[in-house]
Structure 1
Amino acid sequence: MGYLTPVRTALWGAPAETKEERKLVVKLDVFILTSACLQYWVNYLDRANLNNAYVSGMREDLNMVGNDITIINTIFWCGYFLGQIPNNLAMQYFRPRIWMPFCMLAWVSTGFVHNKESIMAIRFVQALFEGSTFVGVHYILGCWYKEEELGKRTGIFTSSGLAGTMFSGFLQGGIYASLNGKSGLAGWRWMFVVDFLITLPLAIYVYAVFPDTPDNTQAFYLSEDERKLAITRLGRRFGAEHEHGDVGKSIFKRLFTSWEIYGFCFIWTMGSNCEMFSTNAIMNLYLSSLGTYSVELVNYMPTGVSGFGIVATLILGWYSDFTKKSWHVGILVSCCAVVTGAIMLNPPSLAGKLFALYLNGISWANQTVYFAWANRLTVEDAAKRSIILAAMNTSAVIFYSFWAISFYAAGQGPMWKEGSIAMMVSGICMAGGVMVVRYLEQRDAKRRASAVIEATGSETSEKPDSKFEKGAAKVASNEV
């Protein structure tokens, strides 16, 4: 592997020091990443289906008017934010390999509804359980992977959601063309039926291979030595993460006296707001309003937003891992949010407007970088970490539930001027928040470095156990 080692190191990180650890990481990548990505892929496939169905005949069949689609999406996000923290706390008591497939099977097909009120009720229930996937997998990734491994894997995971969105567009277009009217079902109904049929075997796969956490895993493909190695390679004693991070009365003190919950909730909320052109199907609605594109093209063309988002997520996730400068990505995406908002506010042409909508796909990289960043800085406390990751998405979805209907409602198209201004404001606020988080990260690193130097200077026989402590001096001496 000699000549390829530098390439492999640049793209995927340095290989593990021992043969045993390399074998373990390969197993983790094969089983954790595949099961996590398949969950998120079908999760996003289900979410995107509603918007695709809306422009593929559902609007007419169910007599939907005005902002009905925006209201349904808002109801979905209300259920989604209610499910975030309870789902992550549930995984402190139930094995993730049982809880997550259960949540997947709770996603009910929407293909047989007959009115918009039924969709509202079903989407709310679906959202309660769909809330387990995003924050739950981020928590699991932080349990198994080292700091230098995390960003790349997180990037692959979040990209799988974008792949679900992109695939939904192609699938809906293909189903409309080939199955519309078959067995008396409209094409948009077939989309939901197919989605449910895809979800069922994937839930069984997740149950079979998902490894829980290193402290309680019973995965059939891991030996006892590999289970212990999974813990010791992260720089902590067996069970130490749970020993110092139990759910109990002290969790509230550990949470609310730390800056991480406030800082990361803020920057991810603003980052989520910067995705609004993409997540609210603005391009689908805009193309549909023109009346010059076929149903198939209205579904196909917006897939380019997801495609660009996948590329940006993988590249910027890799950059964040390689440089350890997550804040660079935050500033870049903030600038792009301001640019896309400015173009959409006064588009010079149709091409200019489409360019802004495609460029907005870069905002998806926020998911990878911010959640990996939070995972790294809270790795020593399992319960605190699980709640912070869930709280990040919960705060973002709470904001989303009124932000979308206030600034990105279907009735505000085709210009969405209020939304364009909101996009620019969100980008500016996110940039400010990223700089504050960067400052606090540097401050804490310097404090840890001073504590390590003091401890090792006075008691030379003791060496710090924590990977965090071992690297603190290095982090503090470099620009984060």
Structure 2
Amino acid sequence: MSKIKYFHRGNKLPGESFLVFKIDFFILTFCCLSYLLNYLDRSNLANAYVSGMKEDLDFKGDQLTQINTCFTVGYILGQIPSNVSLHYIPPSKFFPGAMIIWACLTMITATVKNPQSIMAIRFFQGIAESTTFVGTHYILGSWYTERELGKRSGIFTASGLAGTMIGGFIQSGIYTSLEGLKVMRGWRWLFIIDGIITLPVAVYGLFLFPDTPGTTKAFYLSQQERELAVTRLQPSPTPKETETTASTSPGSEKAIISENPPSSTKEQSPFTRAFVKKILISAEWYGFIILWILAGSSESFSSNSLLALYLKSNPFNTPYTVQQLNSYPTGVSAVGIVSTLFFATLTDIYPHTRHTVGYFIGVIGIVTSGMILAAKYEMVGNQTGVVMGAYYWAGAVYACQATFFAWANDSMRGKEEVFRGVVLAGMNLGSNAVNAWWSILFYGAGMAPWFERGMWAMIGDCLVLVVWCGGLEYVLRRRERGSGGGVVV
């Protein structure tokens, strides 16, 4: 109960509550709208596919999966460069610029004549969208404390899931109302509308996004609030720092010497050999990249739109309308939103338990895969209800996005901002690098409706994830206790 009271009230500094209210409004509105539109764009490719694009463009075999892989390759290439760019280019310029590029590419997609054109467009779209997810987690870690970060990360992640969820309803509405308008198919109108609604959000960010605490020039933050935004995030003195302070001579100035300098100090350039070496020998680099590779693979059911593909190729010959094919999979995102917000809030109250979410999603992945395999092997009666229930439940694995990136941000407090940015980008780079071939190998569209190979891959991935979460938490806790916050690998 005391933890819950502290979470709600805490020991806030004068003016801190109003500061948090302001940054919540301006940062979360832009980041959440940006991510919602980002995911709306991604999910609507699958929505368009089941709404006539497959037949109109004469898709063959796994070409839809290949298009997703082209996007993933561009997304991978943009990860670290985009997050490092935030160290030099104001986020208020970089984020909106990327949004304008991907909005234009989205609208161009409405003109395509074959799947190969979409492959080229999605590659460059992946580069443009690469900064949205990891860039936002970098920004959130720059502004929010440990007891605030999880919930904000959860709200941000939930906005992306909301984009996936409403995408199905938008496509259904467009198909009903705009199909054939100006002699153009409804799925083409979807891409045009997606691009148009993205542009106002980019303009909003250009004028109102506050950058980072140390660089912000936002007119709605006073000088005192800008200083408070920096000082409230300074790490508390560690045991080693306290010992150093106590050992200073009487009358001398008691300067605290930390192995992890605060973010207000001059940061290393990310282009030096020393900095690269520091990254590559750190526990965070390997620990969190492998963590997110495993966790990202646990989201494969949803990220590859398996429920939509299952319904499209239903083994029980149940007919579904275009509206149903777009609407039914939205339940996956709804489950993901609830799960994300619940665990993000809970782990803000108990921030040292963020790793336990890995145990939860590990069990989910194993059980839901088993349900789908059992439905395939049983084949007594129509098993579609069981399969849909399993895919809906599997949406709960999205809880790991907010909690794992908050866990990574928490573990790197006090390190250089660019170090944290590179590790966060490395996490998503690693996950997407694996997903580029993982989805083709285990979840290709040609493997519908059962994706049997993918079910066994999910079970193996989730078993390893559970073990890795426990091991990483043990290593980080042992280092924290043994070094008082210093860097030990």
Do both proteins adopt the same fold according to a TM-score greater than 0.5, normalized to the shorter chain?
yes
* Partner of residue 114, structure 1: 113
* Partner of residue 240, structure 2: none
* Partner of residue 445, structure 2: 410
What amino acid is the match of 1:287?
L
Quick check: 1:274–1:337 contact (8 Å CA) kept in 2?
Answer: yes
What amino acid is the match of 1:73?
N
Count of residue pairs the alignment pairs up? 446
* Partner of residue 45, structure 1: 40
2:394 is equivalent to residue 370 of structure 1:
no
* Alpha-carbon separation, structure 2, partners of 1:35 and 1:197: 16
* Partner of residue 150, structure 1: 149
* Alpha-carbon separation, structure 2, partners of 1:220 and 1:41: 26
* Alpha-carbon separation, structure 2, partners of 1:239 and 1:438: 24
Q: CA deviation at 1:242?
A: 4.9
Q: CA deviation at 1:232?
A: 0.4
Could you say if the C-alpha distance between residues 240 and 132 of structure 1 is closer, same or farther in structure 2, counting changes exceeding 3 Å? closer
2:309 is equivalent to residue 285 of structure 1:
yes
SS of aligned partner of 1:77: helix
Give CA deviations for 1:70-126 in whole Å, capped at 9, x if unaligned: 111111111111111110011111001100100001111211111111100000000
Quick check: 1:338–1:427 contact (8 Å CA) kept in 2?
Answer: yes
* Partner of residue 260, structure 1: 284
Quick check: 1:103–1:130 contact (8 Å CA) kept in 2?
Answer: yes
Q: CA deviation at 1:231?
A: 0.4
* Partner of residue 180, structure 2: 181
Q: CA deviation at 1:448?
A: 3.8
* Alpha-carbon separation, structure 2, partners of 1:240 and 1:300: 46
Q: CA deviation at 1:255?
A: 0.7
SS of aligned partner of 2:15: helix
2:312 is equivalent to residue 312 of structure 1:
no
* Alpha-carbon separation, structure 1, partners of 2:371 and 2:328: 19
Q: CA deviation at 1:23?
A: 0.7
Quick check: 2:110–2:188 contact (8 Å CA) kept in 1?
Answer: yes
Give CA deviations for 1:44-82 in whole Å, capped at 9, x if unaligned: 000011000000000011011211101111111111111
* Alpha-carbon separation, structure 2, partners of 1:392 and 1:172: 32
* Partner of residue 96, structure 1: 91
Q: CA deviation at 1:257?
A: 1.4
Q: CA deviation at 1:346?
A: 2.1
Q: CA deviation at 1:184?
A: 1.3
* Alpha-carbon separation, structure 1, partners of 2:219 and 2:327: 41
Partner of residue 67 from structure 1, selected from 49, 62, 66? 62
Could you say if the C-alpha distance between residues 75 and 248 of structure 1 is closer, same or farther in structure 2, counting changes exceeding 3 Å? closer
Quick check: 1:246–1:382 contact (8 Å CA) kept in 2?
Answer: no
* Partner of residue 360, structure 2: 332
* Partner of residue 462, structure 1: none
* Alpha-carbon separation, structure 1, partners of 2:189 and 2:2: 48
Identity of aligned residues (%): 42
What amino acid is the match of 1:122?
I
What amino acid is the match of 1:142?
G
* Partner of residue 477, structure 1: none
Spell out structure 1 runs of 4+ moving beyond 6 A.
5-8
Could you say if the C-alpha distance between residues 29 and 137 of structure 1 is closer, same or farther in structure 2, counting changes exceeding 3 Å? same
Quick check: 2:80–2:426 contact (8 Å CA) kept in 1?
Answer: yes
* Partner of residue 270, structure 2: 247
Q: CA deviation at 1:239?
A: 7.0
Could you say if the C-alpha distance between residues 284 and 440 of structure 1 is closer, same or farther in structure 2, counting changes exceeding 3 Å? same
Quick check: 2:336–2:397 contact (8 Å CA) kept in 1?
Answer: yes
What amino acid is the match of 1:400?
N
Greater shift, 204-213 or 232-241, is seen at: 232-241
Unaligned 5+ runs, structure 1: 450-467, 470-480
* Partner of residue 329, structure 2: 302
* Alpha-carbon separation, structure 2, partners of 1:355 and 1:310: 16
2:81 is equivalent to residue 86 of structure 1:
yes
Quick check: 2:355–2:407 contact (8 Å CA) kept in 1?
Answer: no
Quick check: 2:270–2:276 contact (8 Å CA) kept in 1?
Answer: no
Q: CA deviation at 1:19?
A: 4.1
Could you say if the C-alpha distance between residues 340 and 245 of structure 1 is closer, same or farther in structure 2, counting changes exceeding 3 Å? farther
* Partner of residue 230, structure 1: 229
Quick check: 1:70–1:409 contact (8 Å CA) kept in 2?
Answer: yes
Quick check: 1:215–1:239 contact (8 Å CA) kept in 2?
Answer: no
Could you say if the C-alpha distance between residues 352 and 447 of structure 1 is closer, same or farther in structure 2, counting changes exceeding 3 Å? same
* Alpha-carbon separation, structure 1, partners of 2:306 and 2:262: 47
SS of aligned partner of 1:243: coil
Q: CA deviation at 1:278?
A: 0.6
